[in-house]
Amino acid sequence: MAALAIADMIWWRRAGQGIWWFLVAALAVAAAWLLATRISHTGRRALAAGVVTIVAAVAVGADYLAISQGWLVRQTTDKEIAAAWEQAWKDVDKAPQAPPDFTILPRQYPDPAQKVSTADTAAPVGACAQLGGTTAHSTLSVVPCDSERSNVKIIQQVSHPRECVRDADQSYYHNGPDGQWTACLDYAWQTSRCLAISPGKIINVACDDPAIPNKEKPVRVFRNVNHTHDCTEGGFAHPVRLYTICTETQP
């Protein structure tokens, strides 16, 4: 009976019903054994075996009869579940997708309070800017975030570049009559624009501009990751702040 009950559970993937019939059979065996205590040893074994066989046949037969008549619904198999998930993902891929918003990124600002405390400075946190000039003589000018001149976003303001969050994309160091400070920077990605990034130069450019090769177009944001493994063509990971910008290189 135990073997039949277990087979029933495995075949129909309904542990609840299988266990129920197993318990019924166990009770039947116990009752048969109690009744058989008044019978001889040989008769006791024969009676117990007969009761167990009858109960097993009735239990399993009733179980399958209930299924065949639709009284119990067979659970979906793993293969059917996998097929349903595959179809669901195909439907998602076919559905129109809203473009990702690269202006709202989790944990982008190491100290969000600086958006208020630096608002009146030359490099306010949260502002977009144009990083220009050369590596030795760079310049930083605050510009609107939707401007075609925008190529970086100010994410932090500290005294020295070494104090920037470790996964900042760039930094700008200023030391002049008005004091010493460093603007920690991320690339300013725009959904409809590309960035051409090379040592000492970042250019905000149209993605179809044939004059500038190897432009990076942002296509997706992954949150709570510290790598680019899930990006199709690579991207820019931020392992401290746990987000990744996936990009596709444009010719």
pLDDT in single tens digits along all 251 residues of the chain? 444 444 444 444 444 455 455 555 666 666 665 565 655 566 656 665 666 677 666 666 666 555 555 555 555 677 777 777 777 766 655 555 667 888 888 899 999 999 999 999 999 999 999 999 988 899 999 999 999 999 999 999 999 999 999 999 999 999 998 889 999 999 999 999 999 999 889 999 999 999 999 999 999 999 999 999 999 999 999 999 999 999 999 98
Spatial distance between the Cα atoms of 250 and 159, rounded to a whole number of angstroms: 37
User: What pLDDT, on a 0 to 100 scale, did the predictor assign at position 27?
Assistant: 65
Q: Is 241 exposed, middle or buried (0-12, 13-18, 19+ CB in 10 A)?
A: buried
Say what the pLDDT of residue 14 is: 46
Task: Work out the number of other CB atoms within 10 angstroms of the CB of residue 72.
Answer: 16
pLDDT of residue 70: 57
pLDDT for the residue 7? 45
Q: Which residues contact 19 (CB under 8 A, 6 or more apart)?
A: 5, 9
Nearest to 218 by CA among 248, 238, 241: 248
Spatial CA neighbour of 234 closest among 224, 249, 212 = 249
